[in-house]
Structure 1
C-alpha cells in the first residue's frame, strides 16, 4: 500500500493555558510541565467534524495523482461525531460525487486512524477496493468539559485526509510496510480509563495514571515489534511519531528507546491532544521532510483501551 497524498485542516482558534486558571484552577505552568501543551486548537462556532473533514480533503487534492472519483473506499475515523448517522465519509462521497465507493465510519478511540488503515489493507487484500480515502477528524471541544481538572485542558480539534492506493503512483510515495493493531479492553482500567458520555460530563479521563503507564508500555513495544518483524533495527528508524497525548509520554519513550530528541516529531505544544487525528496529522504536517530511504514509525494508544503502529518507508 502507498500513501498518495495527505491534507489537513487545523482551526485557526487557539486557547492558551492561562484560560484555564479561572475555569478549572490550573496554572499555565502546571499544565505545560505535566503535558507539554501551551495552546490547543479550537474549532469556530460554525465549524464541525464535516466542515473540517472537507477542508482536509481540499488541502490534499492538489497533490492527488488521480481523480478523487476513482476512490472506491472511504473511511471516516473518529470518536466525536457531528451526526451519529451521516458521517464525514458519506458527506465526502456526496460532495465529491464518489459514486462507486463504499463508505463507513470506524471508531476505536485514539487508535481510530490506525484501525482504519488496517481495514483498508483488508479491503485491498480481498480485492474489494484499490484506492481509499481515510478521513480522520475529532471535534473534541464539542464534547470536552473544560472545568474538569483532570482532562478538560488537553483537547484540540483537527482533521486529516489520507489517500492510499494498492499500487504505487510515484517514487516519492511512502510505502506502508506493515500495520499492527490490538484491542486492550481487558488490561488495566480498560473501558473506564477514558470515556465520552455527553450526559455525564463529556470526554473524561478519570484514570490518567493508568493511561500514562500503559501508553508508555505499548507504544514503544509496538514499534519494536514491527521493526524486528520486518528486519529493521531501531537505529534505522528515521522518525518516531507517537500519539500526541502528553509530552511526558514521549519523553518516557525516548528514554526507554534511547532515541535522540530530533527523531521525535510532534505538534502537541501548539495543538493539544487532537485525538485520533494526532499521529496522522503530524505525518501530514511533516511529509515534505521525508526523503528517500527514510523509515517512519507511527504508534498510538487509545482509550478503551486500544493500540497499534505502522511502519512507512520512503
Structure 2
C-alpha cells in the first residue's frame, strides 16, 4: 500500500493555557508541566467534524496525482461525530460527488487512524478497491467540559485526509510496509478510564494515570513488534510518531525505546490532543523532513485501550 498524498486542517482559533486559568484556576506552568500543551485549536461557530474533514480533503485534492473520480473507497474515522447516521465518510462522498463506492465508518477512539488503514488494506487485498481516501476528523471541543480540571484543557480540534493506492503512483509516495492493531479492552480500567457517553454531557477521564501507564507500555511494545516483524531494529528507525495525547507520554515512549527525543515527532504543544487525526497531521507537517529510505513508525493508543503501529518507508 502507498500513501499518495496526506493533508491536514486545523481551525484558526487558538486557545492559550491562560484561558483555563480564568475558568478553573489551572496555570500555564501546571498545564505545560503535565501535558506539554501550550495552546490548542478550537473549531469556530459553523465548523464541525464534517466541515473540518472536508477542508482537509480539499487541500489534498489540490495536488492529487490522479483524478478524484478514481477514488473507489472512502473510510471516515472519528469518535466525535457531527452525525452518527450521515457520517463523516458520507459527507466526504457527497462533497466529492462520487457514486456507488463503498463508504465505511471507523471508531476505535484515538487509534482509529490505523484501524482505518487496515480497512483499506482489506479492500485492496480482496481487489474491491484500488484508490482509497481516509478522512480523520475530531471536534473534541464540542464534547469536552472546559471546566473539568482533569481533562478539559487537553482537547484540540483538527482533521486529516490520506489518499492511498494499492500500487505506487509517483516517486514521492510513502510505502506502508506493515500495519498491525490490537485491543486491550479487557485489562486495567479500560471500560471506565476515559469515556464519552451522551448522558454524561462530555468527556470524562477519571483514571488518567491508568491510561498514561498503558499508553506508554503498548506504544513502545507495538513499535518494537512492527519493526521486528519487518526485519528491522530500533537502530534502523528514523522517526517515531506517537499518538498526540500527552508530551510526557511521547517522551516516556522514546525513553523506553532508547530513542533520542528529537526522533519522536510531536504537535501536541500547539494543537492539543486532536484525537485520531493527530498522528496523521504530524506526518503532513514533517513530510518535508523525510528522505528516501527513512523509516517512520506511527504508534497509537486509544480509549477502550485499542492500540497499534504502522511502519512507513519514505
Partners of 2:199 and 2:45 in 1: how far apart?
21
Per-residue deviation, residues 182-228 of structure 1 (Å, max 9, x unmatched): 01110110121110123313111111000000001000110100111
TM superposition shift of 1:276: 0.9
TM superposition shift of 1:305: 1.4
**C-alpha root-mean-square deviation of aligned residues, in Å?**
0.9
TM-score, with structure 2 as normaliser: 0.98
The answer as to whether partners of 1:193 and 1:305 remain within 8 angstroms in 2 is no
**SS of equivalent residue, structure 2 residue 53:** helix
TM superposition shift of 1:145: 0.5
Match of 2:257 in 1: 257
Residue correspondence of structure 1 range 88-167 to structure 2 within 5 A: 88-167=88-167
TM superposition shift of 1:16: 0.7
**SS of equivalent residue, structure 1 residue 192:** coil
Partners of 1:87 and 1:204 in 2: how far apart?
24
Match of 2:200 in 1: 200
Residue correspondence of structure 1 range 67-106 to structure 2 within 5 A: 67-106=67-106
| Mapped pair 1:272 → 2:272 | yes
Partners of 1:111 and 1:259 in 2: how far apart?
22
The answer as to whether partners of 2:118 and 2:179 remain within 8 angstroms in 1 is yes
Residue correspondence of structure 1 range 1-314 to structure 2 within 5 A: 1-314=1-314
The answer as to whether partners of 2:184 and 2:304 remain within 8 angstroms in 1 is yes
The answer as to whether partners of 1:185 and 1:304 remain within 8 angstroms in 2 is yes
Unaligned runs of 5+ residues in structure 2 are none
Partners of 1:79 and 1:42 in 2: how far apart?
16
Deviates more, 1:72-81 or 1:56-65: 56-65
- In the alignment of these two chains, the number of paired residues is 314
Partners of 1:4 and 1:101 in 2: how far apart?
19
TM-score, with structure 1 as normaliser: 0.98
After TM superposition, the runs of 4+ consecutive aligned structure 1 residues lying more than 4 A away are none
TM superposition shift of 1:258: 1.4
Per-residue deviation, residues 68-124 of structure 1 (Å, max 9, x unmatched): 111111011000000111112111111211124211211010011110001100111
**SS of equivalent residue, structure 2 residue 169:** coil
Partners of 1:157 and 1:101 in 2: how far apart?
28
The answer as to whether partners of 1:71 and 1:100 remain within 8 angstroms in 2 is no
Unaligned runs of 5+ residues in structure 1 are none
